[in-house]
Amino acid sequence: MENYIIEMNNIRKEFPGIVANDDITLKLRKGEIHALLGENGAGKSTLMSVLFGLYVPEKGEIRKNGEVVKISNPNDANDLGIGMVHQHFKLVEVFTVLENIILGAEPTKYGFLTTKETRQKVLELSEKFNLKVDIDAKIEDISVGMQQRVEILKMLYRENEILIFDEPTAVLTPQEIDELIKIMKNLIIEGKSILFISHKLNEIMAVCDRVTVLRKGKYIGTVDVSKTNIDELSKMMVGRKIDSIKKTPAKKSDEIVLDVRNLTVSSKLHKNNAVNNVSFQVNAGEILCIAGIEGNGQSELIYGITGLEKITSGQIVLNGKDVTKASIRERNLNGMSHIPEDRHKFGLVLDFNLAQNLALKKYFQEGYHNHGFINFDKIHEHSEALIKQYDIRSGKGSDTIARSMSGGNQQKAIIAREIDCESKLLVAVQPTRGLDVGAIENIHKMIIQERDAHKAVLLISLELEEVLDLSDRILVMFNGQIVAELNPKKTTPQEIGLYMVGAKVQEKFTGSRGGQ
C-alpha cells in the first residue's frame, strides 16, 4: 500500500444546473509535487475549495494518512496542516512582512504582542528554506516575488505540511519563476508535500512528479510526468490536439498606419519619464510586438498613444493624421481600436449588460440613436450579431450582466467590440492575460486574421512565447526606451531576455539614451 498523505476519493460537487466536480479522485503522495492541471473552469478551484473546507461535496471522502477526515471550514484544513498560497495574495499591504506572517496566530503575553521569539522563528524558517525576505519591510514596498515568499513563510510558520500553490507563476518574471521552482524542490526535501495548480505545461514538466488532469469537471487521469510529454498533457487537458498557430508570412506594406515620434510620457510613480523619447512605426499588415518586463513603460506608452494619459512631448500620427492632441473618441473614429490591459478597469462597465458593453463605442453613432434617443432594437441586434460571430457565451445572451461572465468571454466581448469598429490600427495589450488555452488560441487567431485583413496590430505582451509566436517584428522596451528591434525568426528567448533586463542595447538605439 502506497503512502498517501491526502486522498480525495470520488468527489462530486454540484451547483444548480452544473456538476463542477464529477467523481474526481486526487491522491497526493508524501513528499511529491503533484500538479493539478486543467483549463479555467475545469473544476480545479472547486476541488481545492472542497479540500480547504469552503464547499461540502455531495459525494466522496477525504482521507489524510489513510484516515477519513471531515473538513467543514478552513480552520479544519489548517488544523490538518493544509495551507494555500492564493493566486491573488492575501496580505495586508500596510503591514510588515513579520506582521503578515503572524497575522491570525499572533503570539501574545498578557494581551500584548510578543514578536521577539516569533521573529527568531521566522528568520530560522527563512534561512532553512532559503526564502529571502526583508522581514521588516512593508508589503506594499516589496516585489511580487517576495510577497509570494511571504505567503509561503506564512504556511511554514503555521507548520502546514500540505502546501497548495494556486497558479503561483502567473505573476512572476522568468527569473522569479526559476527561484520559485528551487524553493519548491527545497520544500520537498524538507518533507513537505505540494499540490501545484497550473495550466502551464512546461512548468509542470519542469517541477512536478505526477500530474492529475481535469477537464470540464471530469477526472481525465493521473500520469507520471517522467512518462509523458507536453503534447500528451495538452491533449488530455483540452480534449483535442492544439494546433500550433499557422501563420502565413506577413504581407507587410509600406503603408504606415501609426507613426510615433519622440514620444515622452511622464510617470505617475517616479520623477523620471515613464516613456522617454520613443519612436516607431507600425505598418499595415504587420504585428509589431513590444516586449519587456512589466513596468518598463509599456502601459504608459499605450496610455499616451490611445489618449488615456497626456503626453509630455512628441507626436502621434494615425493614418496620416496628427492625433497628438485628439480626444480618445476622435482617435477611435480615426481608426484606432484598443484592447485594454485591464479588462475590468477599462474594458467593460461590469454592471452593464453585454449588449450595452458591446455598444460602448457605437451608441453615439448614426443608426444607434435617433436625436439622442437610444435605438434599443439596433443595439440588441448589433449585440446578437457579435455574440454569434465571435461565439461569446453567457447565461442570458445580450442581457447578461458583464460581471457574471467568465474572463474568457469578457475578453471575447471586448475583442469583438474592438474588431467590429473596423479600425485600421488594433492596439492589443496583454490580450490573453489570465485566459485558458482554448481562449488564447482563439484570440491569437483573431489577431492574425486582423493582420491578414491588412490591418496594423500593435501588441504588448509580457509572455515571451506569445511575442515569438505572433509578432512579425519585435521591439524590446527597457526603462522607458526602445533598446532593440528584432526579427522573431532570427532571435531566441534568451536574446530577448538580455535586452529585457537591460544587459544589452542595440547600437542604433544607444543614441537616444542619455536623456534620463
Partner 1 sequence: MMALFKKNSTAELKTIKELSDKKVTIISSVSSIFVGLLFGLVILFIIEIIKEYSDFTNPFYGFVNLMTSGISSIGNILKLLYKAAPLMMTGLAIGFAFKAGLFNIGATGQYTVGAFFALIAAILWQFPWWAALIVAMITGALWGFIPGLFKAIFNINEVITTIMLNWTALFFVNLLFYNNPGIYLTPERTTALASANPSAILPDLGLKVALNSSYVNIGIFIAILFAILIYIIMEKTTFGFEIKACGHNKNASVYAGIKAKRTIIYTMLISGALAGVGGGIQFLSGTVQYTVSNTTLMPMGFNGIPVALLAFSNPIGIIFSSLFISFLQVGGENMQPIYSSEMVNVILAVIIYFSAFSLILSQFIRKRLNMRSIDLEIAANRLETPLEENIPPKEEPVEPVIEKSSKKEVEK
**Which residues contact partner 1 by CB under 8 A?**
1-2, 15-20, 22, 25, 27, 40-41, 46, 215-224, 227-228, 232, 235-236, 239-240, 306, 308, 327-329, 332, 338, 340, 345-352, 356, 360-361, 363-364, 369, 372-374, 393-395, 400-401, 403-406, 409
Yes or no: say if 341 and 429 are a contact pair by the CB < 8 Å rule. Answer: yes
Cβ proximity to partner 1: between 217 and 431 the closer is 217
Specify the DSSP class assigned to residue 258. Answer: E
Give me the sign of the Cα torsion angle 298, 304, 310, 316. Answer: positive
Maximum C-alpha span of the chain: 77
Nearest approach in angstroms of CB 349 to partner 1 is: 5
- State the burial class of residue 422 (Cβ atoms within 10 Å of its Cβ: 0-12, 13-18, 19+): exposed
Smallest gap from residue 463 Cβ to partner 1 (A):
22
CA dihedral angle for residue 501, residue 504, residue 508, residue 511, rounded to 10 degrees? 80
CB contact set of 331 (below 8 Å; sequence gap of 6+): 306, 307, 318, 323
CB of 46 to partner 1, least distance (A): 8
Q: Which is nearer to partner 1, 187 or 379 (CB)?
A: 379
- The CA-based angle 321-325-328, given to 5 degrees, is 90
Q: Please state the closest distance from residue 40 (CB atom) to partner 1, in A.
A: 7
CB of 510 to partner 1, least distance (A): 35
Q: Between residues 40 and 281, which has the closer beta carbon with respect to partner 1?
A: 40
C-alpha pair distances (Å), 435 with each of 198, 231, 238, 408: 12, 19, 13, 6
CB of 353 to partner 1, least distance (A): 11
Query: Min. distance of Cβ 216 from partner 1 in angstroms?
Result: 5
Minimum distance, C-beta of residue 98 to partner 1, in the bound complex (Å): 34
- Which value, to the nearest 10 degrees, does the dihedral of the CA atoms of residues 99, 105, 106, 109 take? -160
| CB distance 118 to 126 below 8 Å | no
The three-state secondary structure class of 60 is strand
Instruction: Rank residues 223 and 464 by Cβ distance to partner 1 and give the closer one.
Output: 223
Measured CA to CA, the distance from residue 182 to residue 132 in angstroms comes to 12
Q: How far apart are the first and last CA of the chain?
A: 66
Q: Hey, what's the cell of 460?
A: 504588448
Q: For residues 193 and 356, which CB has a smaller minimum distance to partner 1 in the complex?
A: 356
Q: Minimum distance between the CB of residue 27 and partner 1, rounded to whole angstroms?
A: 6
Residue whose C-alpha is closest to residue 87's, from 45, 41, 143: 45
Nearer to partner 1, 367 or 515 (CB): 367
Task: Report the residue number, 61 or 117, with the smaller CB distance to partner 1.
Answer: 61
CB-nearer residue toward partner 1: 185 or 393: 393
Q: Write down the least CB distance from residue 461 to partner 1, Å.
A: 20
User: Least distance from C-beta 97 to partner 1, angstroms?
Assistant: 31
Nearer to partner 1, 43 or 497 (CB): 43
Q: Which is nearer to partner 1, 320 or 395 (CB)?
A: 395
Rg (CA), the chain: 25
CB of 147 to partner 1, least distance (A): 25
∠ CA 359-366-390, nearest 5°, is: 35
| Phi, psi at 40, each rounded to 5° | -60, 130
C-beta of residue 434 within 8 angstroms of C-beta of residue 408: no
How far apart (Å, rounded) are the C-alpha atoms in residues 278 and 483? 10
Cβ contacts of residue 414 below 8 Å, gap of 6+? 339, 340, 343, 347, 348
Q: Which of 16, 9, 28, 39 is nearest to 233 (CA)?
A: 39
Pairwise CA distance, residues 66 & 512, whole Å = 66
Minimal distance, residue 280 CB to partner 1, in Å: 23
CA distance 360 to 354: 10
